[in-house]
Amino acid sequence: MIMPVLSLLAQSLYNPPLNGKLGNSTTLNSRAALSLMLRNLINVAFGFAGVYFFIMLLRGGYEYINAGGDKEAVQKAQKRLTNAFIGIIIVFSAFAFLYVVEVLFGVDIRKFNIPAP
């Protein structure tokens, strides 16, 4: 009597971050799982890169404030700030470029469609 209840509970599991797609093996094959993984990997990479360069921007500002008039420390902090700004610009430019290409050409670059053999 307990086993049917447990099997019913296991079938109703839902994973919102994955949109429920990976929980149902009958509708998702390996190609679809790979394309979903690559799409999520690109989105996570953009997120991590943005957060990383933002943290470097904060760190450079902190070093600049605490340089205390030391020319070498000020130059090091300015170089870190410059690199952080360049990194943020590159990340957002790449994301904007992908978005513009998707809108203009109607191709969803961030969604990989792996063709069937």
Q: Report pLDDT digits (tens) over 11-47.
A: 555 555 555 554 444 455 677 777 777 778 888 888 8
The predicted-structure confidence for 1-13, as pLDDT tens digits, reads as follows: 455 554 555 555 5
CA–CA dist 80, 61 (Å, integer):
9
More confident site: 25 or 56: 56
Given this model, what pLDDT does residue 41 score?
Answer: 85
- Express each pLDDT in 63-95 by its tens digit: 999 998 899 999 999 999 999 999 999 999 998
Q: Are 110 and 35 in contact (CB under 8 A)?
A: no
Where does the pLDDT of residue 54 fall: very low under 50, low under 70, confident under 90, or very high at 90 and above?
very high
**Residue 112 is encoded by which pair of tokens?**
């990989």
